[in-house]
């Protein structure tokens, strides 16, 4: 069936059917209900291309991840969990999702051009944006509607984004370790050109300073969000006798645990380890990983909902959403939990 057929059965004009389908005003409730009932009875599906011409919307969200595909499909479950949240919200709101993944050999400028010039999505969700990232410069220049996952590296007062309070979360992790009697607390960071990684390092330093402990550069390794850098960074830190290591992400933390154990040391007796994100690997590591939990799926679904609200004109720009975190204590910091097999929550913040 087409619009004319629906109009004929409903006893209305074709333009009235079009207004009902596109949720436009100036249609009586009785007429709208009659048209919708016939659409449902006939299982009518509007032509997406024709509808886009009328509404000037495609009902498609673009998601750009400028990470190499081997990172995306490797041992880091962050991106699949993020996409799960985006997809669930997109489906609930009757939107599709268009995904861009950077190739391992592709430079960021080429990736930025591919994404920014594509006009099909109504808006974009960007993640893992670094300082001076061409994709951010291009979408701002082209005035594309977009939402960032994680704090923007620049102009966060004019950009819509969803994040967590990384600084406060790291301060809480440091305070917990100090309460446990740890004093030589090290940090293996993620990629510091990504704002969230830099904020986590800032929170770590703030926590030490508040406790009257020195910030020792020998106990800091500036790495990337992967297991390899967690391992390498820990190898460089261990000669300086840390009794605890905070990792900028859970995947990093797994590499930290590997390096500590390879050096013949025990986790947590000799070196306590804390991660960030509470990914799937956290509860399955040996020992189970203490980590700063936030729902990665919720970050994704919140970013998608924010973008849809902006597309449909329900919000003023810009919007800044900061989601809560909580410290989840497992066996990598508390030897008692290795015996009990338990987990405890040590607080929550927003």
- Is residue 84 within a helix (H) or strand (E), and if so which, with residue range? helix 78-92
On the question of pLDDT at 350 being above 50, the answer is no
Q: Are residues 65 and 198 in the same domain?
A: no
Q: Are residues 180 and 246 in the same domain?
A: yes
On the question of pLDDT at 348 being above 50, the answer is no
> Concatenated DSSP letters for 88-101?
HHHHHTT-EEEEEE
Q: Where residue 39 sits, what CATH number does that domain have?
A: 1.10.260.40
CA dihedral 127, 73, 188, 230 (to 10 degrees): -170
Q: Are residues 211 and 337 in the same domain?
A: yes
Query: What range defines the domain where residue 216 resides?
Result: 166-293+326-349
Q: Are residues 217 and 237 in the same domain?
A: yes
DSSP helix/strand/coil, 29: helix
Sheet holding 185-189, edge to edge: 220-222, 185-189, 244-247, 272-277, 290-293, 325-329, 344-349
Q: Are residues 110 and 48 in the same domain?
A: no
Q: Are residues 159 and 69 in the same domain?
A: yes
Beta-carbon contacts of residue 181 (< 8 Å; ≥ 6 apart) = none
Beta-carbon contacts of residue 54 (< 8 Å; ≥ 6 apart) = 18, 22
The pTM is what? 0.79
Q: Are residues 145 and 177 in the same domain?
A: no
Instruction: Tell me how far apart the alpha carbons of residues 71 and 227 are, in angstroms, rounded to a whole number.
Output: 11
Q: How far is CA 178 from the centre of its chain?
A: 29
CB 211 within 8 A of CB 204: no
Q: Are residues 212 and 337 in the same domain?
A: yes
Q: In this predicted structure, which of 21-25, 172-176, 211-215, 322-326 has the lowest mean pLDDT?
A: 21-25
Q: In this structure, what token pair is assigned to residue 194?
A: 């990504």
Q: How many CA atoms within 13 Å lie on the side-chain side of 204?
A: 30
Number of structural domains, the chain?
A: 3
- When pLDDT is cut at 50, 70 and 90, the band that residue 51 belongs to is low
pLDDT for 347 equals 46
On the question of pLDDT at 141 being above 70, the answer is yes
């Amino acid at each position: 069936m087409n619009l004319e057929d629906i109009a004929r059965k409903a006893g209305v004009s074709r333009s009235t059917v079009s207004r009902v389908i596109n949720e436009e005003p100036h249609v009586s409730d009785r007429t709208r209900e009659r048209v919708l009932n016939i659409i449902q009875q006939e299982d009518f599906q509007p032509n997406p291309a024709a509808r886009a011409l009328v509404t000037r919307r495609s009902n498609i969200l673009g998601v750009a991840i400028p990470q190499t595909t081997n990172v995306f499909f490797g041992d880091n479950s962050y991106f699949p969990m993020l996409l799960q949240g985006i997809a669930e919200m997109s489906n609930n709101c009757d939107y599709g999702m268009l995904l861009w993944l950077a190739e391992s050999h592709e430079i960021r400028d080429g990736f930025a051009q591919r994404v920014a010039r594509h006009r099909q999505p109504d808006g974009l969700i960007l993640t893992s944006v670094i300082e001076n990232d061409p994709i951010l410069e291009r979408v701002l220049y082209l005035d594309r509607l977009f939402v960032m996952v994680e704090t923007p590296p620049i102009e966060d007062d004019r950009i819509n984004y969803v994040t967590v309070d990384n600084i406060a979360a790291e301060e809480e992790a440091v305070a917990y370790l100090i309460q446990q009697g740890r004093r030589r607390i090290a940090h293996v960071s993620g990629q510091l050109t990504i704002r969230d990684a830099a904020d986590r390092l800032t929170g770590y330093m703030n926590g030490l300073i508040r406790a009257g402990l020195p910030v020792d550069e020998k106990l800091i390794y500036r790495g990337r969000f992967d297991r390899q850098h967690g391992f390498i960074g820990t190898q460089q830190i261990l000669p300086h006798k840390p009794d605890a290591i905070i990792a900028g992400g859970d995947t990093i933390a797994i590499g930290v645990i590997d390096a500590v154990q390879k050096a013949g040391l025990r986790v947590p007796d000799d070196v306590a380890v804390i991660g960030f994100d509470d990914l799937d690997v956290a509860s399955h590591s040996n020992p189970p990983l203490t980590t700063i939990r936030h729902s990665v799926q919720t970050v994704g679904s919140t970013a998608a909902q924010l973008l849809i609200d902006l597309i449909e004109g329900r919000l003023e720009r810009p919007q800044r959403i900061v989601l809560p975190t909580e410290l989840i204590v497992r066996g990598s910091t508390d030897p008692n939990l290795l015996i009990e097999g338990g987990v405890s929550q040590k607080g929550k913040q927003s």
